[in-house]
Amino acid sequence: MKNPIDAIGKACPIPFMLAKKEIDSNTHQFSIIVDNKGALENLKRLATSTQYVLTIEDKENLFTITFLSSKKDVKAEQEHSQEDKTPITPLALQSWTLFIGKETMGEGEKELGLNLLRMHLYTINANNDLPKNIVCMNSGVRIATQDQQTIATLQSLEKKGVSIIVCGTCLDYYHLLDELQVGYIGNMYDITKILTSSQKVVSV
Amino acid sequence: MEDGYILSFKSTHDAFKSQHLLSKMKVLFIVIPTPVEISANCGLSLYIEINTIITIQTILEDIHDILYVKAIKKGSQIVPKG
């Protein structure tokens, strides 16, 4: 196996790009070292979306992540694809995405905007027509980190199979990386793919 | 299923004033759109999981014309009782 790829101190999405390059060249096994949880979460997501199995070694906040291709291992592949099927997706789940680009619904007074957003999420959660994804970006990441009502609603939606993707760069910018209460950290690659592949994107 | 009360207000400003007063007293509430069964001018209501409303009425004594409606939380939905 080659020497581990050194991605220490590299900002999002560089570690992701370095790992993706190896995957695209069909490297059977490789390791990458990162020093932050955002990068670690991104790489975990990358492994889940590809046929690689991860092992993670944590030494004083330096994470050595080893990717091992499971392509030739039919059994492991089957198990992997079964893992991908969870959580269970309700029948009503349609291919639409809710994009939350700020911590309020609409422009204007913040107090009103936050309450409108709380009610909007409550209404979506009470309906059958659930989105497939909810993307939180810019100050929209606050609804997954700071507001108790929106966090609880997002957790309920997540249990019903809705993917909650929270922008890692934005969490980092607002110093909220350690306060994420729901969803998973996504980078611009994940988010762009979701937005461009959804049948409908609703932006609030 | 959990029992509680929906509080509906004369205006949005009264709803926000009530939120501040309740938060100050550490009362937990959920902001919901006013259910269509409840007639009120303001589309924003609060739901509080509580058996008796007396304490809440005391906290909000300066806010006039609040409508208190018994409600129940069924799964993700909060609906007026009866």
pLDDT in tens, A5-24: 999 887 766 788 888 888 88
Best B23, B30, B36, B48 residue to mutate vs chain A (most A CBs within 10 Å): B30
pTM of the model: 0.69
pLDDT computed for residue B16 by the predictor: 94
pLDDT in tens, B15-32: 999 999 999 999 999 999
- Give me the sheet containing B77-80, strands edge to edge: B30-33, B44-48, B2-8, B67-74, B77-80
Tell me how far apart the 2 most distant CA atoms of chain B are, in Å.
33
Instruction: Verify whether the Cβ–Cβ distance A111 to B30 is below 8 Å.
Output: no
Strand runs labelled E in chain A:
5-6, 29-34, 52-59, 62-69, 96-100, 133-136, 163-167, 184-186, 200-203
Residue B58 Cα, gap to closest chain A Cα (Å)? 24
pLDDT in tens, A28-54: 899 999 988 778 887 887 887 788 888
How many whole angstroms separate alpha carbon A11 and alpha carbon A35?
10
- Average predicted confidence (pLDDT) for chain A: 86
What residues does each domain of chain A span? 5-84, 91-203
Q: Name residue B13's amino acid.
A: H
pLDDT confidence tier of residue A74, bands split at 50, 70 and 90? very low
What are A86's two structure tokens?
């969870």
**CATH fold of A5-84, please?**
Translation Initiation Factor IF3 (3.30.110)
Region A161-188 average pLDDT: 92
pLDDT computed for residue A36 by the predictor: 82
pLDDT computed for residue A89 by the predictor: 47
Instruction: Verify whether the Cβ–Cβ distance A115 to B31 is below 8 Å.
Output: yes
Q: What percent of chain A has pLDDT over 90?
A: 54
Q: Which architecture characterizes domain A91-203 according to CATH?
A: 3-Layer(aba) Sandwich (3.40)
More confident residue, A60 or A151: A151
Q: Is the pLDDT of residue A92 over 50?
A: no
Among B15, B33, B44, whose Cβ lies nearest the Cβ of A123? B33
pLDDT confidence tier of residue B1, bands split at 50, 70 and 90? low
B58 touches chain A (CB under 8 A): no
pLDDT in tens, B26-80: 999 999 988 877 765 568 899 999 988 999 999 999 999 899 999 999 888 999 9
More confident residue, B67 or A82: B67
ipTM (interface pTM): 0.79
Q: Is the pLDDT of residue A72 over 70?
A: no
B39 touches chain A (CB under 8 A): no
Confirm whether A5-84 and A91-203 share one CATH topology: no
pLDDT computed for residue B42 by the predictor: 63
Q: Is the pLDDT of residue A84 over 70?
A: no
Q: Which residues in chain A have their CB less than 8 angstroms from residue B76's CB?
A: 122, 125-126, 156
Instruction: Verify whether the Cβ–Cβ distance B44 to A115 is below 8 Å.
Output: yes
How many whole angstroms separate alpha carbon A130 and alpha carbon A145?
21
A158 touches chain B (CB under 8 A): no
Residue A121 Cα, gap to closest chain B Cα (Å)? 9
